[in-house]
Amino acid sequence: MAVVAQSGERRVVRNVIRGSIGNLIEWYDWYAYTAFSIYFASTFFPSGDQTAQLLNTAGIFAVGFLMRPIGGYVLGRFADRFGRRTALTLSVTLMALGSLIITVTPGYGTIGVAAPVILVIARLLQGLSVGGEYATSATYLSEVASRGKRGYYSSFQYVTLISGQLIALALQIVLQQVLTDHQLTTWGWRIAFGVGAVGAVAVMWLRRTMDESESFQNRTRTAEDGTLRLLLKYPKECLIVFGLTLGGTVAFYTYTTYLQKFMVNTSHIDKTTVTWINFIALAVFMGIQPLAGKLSDRVGRRPLLMFFGIAGTVVTVPLLTLLSHTKNPVVAFLLMTVALSIVTGYTSINAIVKAELFPTGIRALGVGLPYGLTVAIFGGTAEYVALGLKQAGVETLFYWYVSACILVSLVVYWTMRETSSASELEHEGAARRG
């Protein structure tokens, strides 16, 4: 029995690794856009000051998010009907196509307004991909995880998500060392997207070797599986996904994507130093995800969410205020690390919490659609709101905006049930064992 259990655990680990590597490439491609936007903004939007150019690229970043609920619906429904493995392979294929388009698209000076238009199309494809990736990978990792370790294994979704961003930043650091600022601005940034396209193609083949989850294989099939009609039978669960995501997504994108621009544009720290600050802080952030996920398996999901809600509501305004007034790299790193440690209460377990709310036949769609809508409305617009308020001369209002969004989620965390003790995943496992 011990040998069988050990073999089963190794199989779980292999599937988690295969699913996670694909997640890593997906999010590398997604974050390469924001990491390198400080270099390619002038290629697609040649006029205006730096804030105006960044505002334009942030607008397209937000547009990409509009496709995420569509991706959550289309690929989530596909995953509930035809399997998690097939849907994950399709999502990374779409990401490869989007990255390839960005790699080869000429600048505004060559093809005029067609350049930003093509950039929008590429980001729409990537948004569709990421919308489906989040929902399906969250579902897959939660379903293949061992009982009692679902929080731990599911946390690797954000480990690989952050790893993707770290790889993008690492490549940026390397390119900053070997290329001049002029070379990076004129053509060097294209290397990042080319690497992403090649990596996505490789992962597309790797994902074809993953096992399908037993939850999906053993489900009782119905004609309503993966349909919006079935999802409408779970209005409370959908509202919980919306509410618990709202503050988390705004905080996450503020501290992982916008903060790089904030340190350059507001704190006036040089670009290379900011890249290093982000890289080291995100490495710490990545390392504590499994620890928090494992903790949730012992104490429950809700205490971690409450920690994020309370600390995020109270600390956000003073933290961003301090960061805006420092040029000290060490202080900036410490402030960013504190912020990311707080956000860990959300990131490490949000995927498993959502998966625990829904049964197998609707899980990928139930996780993906309300999450995608929330991220599109609030997460994708976070840096656009921040830059818009800065351009209007009232940047500090953004600090209060982030805090208010977290406060709304805190109310949800306070009133929601503990999902680990009443999990649909555990009910299904008990039914199969019975």
Q: What is the pLDDT of residue 431?
A: 46
Distance CA 374, CA 242 (A): 6
pLDDT top residue among 97 and 27 = 97
How would residue 300 be classed by pLDDT, with cut points 50, 70 and 90? Answer: very high
Residue 432 has pLDDT above 60, yes or no: no
**Quick count: other Cβ atoms within 10 Å of Cβ 228?**
12
Q: What is the pLDDT of residue 4?
A: 40
Residue 130 has pLDDT above 60, yes or no: yes
The verdict on residue 102 lying in a domain is yes
Residue 434 has pLDDT above 50, yes or no: no
The verdict on residue 70 lying in a domain is yes
Per-state percent for the chain, helix, strand, coil, to nearest 5: 85, 0, 15
> Over pLDDT 70: what percentage of the chain?
89
Quote the mean pLDDT of the chain: 85
The verdict on residue 1 lying in a domain is no
**Quick count: other Cβ atoms within 10 Å of Cβ 318?**
12
C-alpha closest to that of 261 among 271, 272, 251: 271
- The most confident of the ranges 4-13, 245-254, 355-364, 367-376 is 245-254
Mind listing the pLDDT tens digit for each residue in 243-270? 999 999 999 999 988 888 899 989 999 8
How would residue 17 be classed by pLDDT, with cut points 50, 70 and 90? Answer: confident
Residues in contact with 212: Cβ distance below 8 Å, sequence separation at least 6, in sequence order: 83, 84, 85
Q: What would the mean pLDDT of 291-295 be, rounded to a whole number?
A: 95
Between 45-59, 120-134, 179-193, 290-304, the lowest mean confidence (pLDDT) is in 45-59
Between 77-86, 286-295, 390-399, the lowest mean confidence (pLDDT) is in 77-86
Q: 353: number of CA atoms within 13 Å, CB side? A: 29
The verdict on residue 113 lying in a domain is yes
C-alpha closest to that of 88 among 129, 123, 122: 129
Mind listing the pLDDT tens digit for each residue in 147-160? 788 889 888 888 98
C-alpha closest to that of 360 among 85, 80, 154, 131: 80
Q: What is the pLDDT of residue 430?
A: 47
pLDDT top residue among 348 and 209 = 348
> According to DSSP H, which parts of 150-270 are helical?
150-154, 156-178, 181-183, 190-206, 214-217, 228-231, 235-253, 259-265
Between 203-217, 266-280, 403-417, the lowest mean confidence (pLDDT) is in 203-217
Residue 76 has pLDDT above 80, yes or no: yes
**What is the count of structural domains for the chain?**
1
Mind listing the pLDDT tens digit for each residue in 205-244? 777 777 887 777 776 666 565 577 777 888 899 999 999 9
> Over pLDDT 90: what percentage of the chain?
33
Residues in contact with 431: Cβ distance below 8 Å, sequence separation at least 6, in sequence order: none
Q: What would the mean pLDDT of 37-48 be, rounded to a whole number?
A: 77
Enter the pTM of the model.
0.82
Structure tokens, 154 = 């599911």
Q: What is the pLDDT of residue 109?
A: 82
The domain in which residue 352 lies consists of 12-212+234-433
Residue 174's CATH number: 1.20.1250.20
Q: What is the pLDDT of residue 6?
A: 46
How would residue 375 be classed by pLDDT, with cut points 50, 70 and 90? Answer: confident
The verdict on residue 98 lying in a domain is yes
C-alpha closest to that of 266 among 332, 318, 330: 332
The verdict on residue 4 lying in a domain is no
| 285-287-289-295 Cα dihedral, nearest 10 degrees | -130
The verdict on residue 91 lying in a domain is yes
C-alpha closest to that of 60 among 38, 34, 36: 34
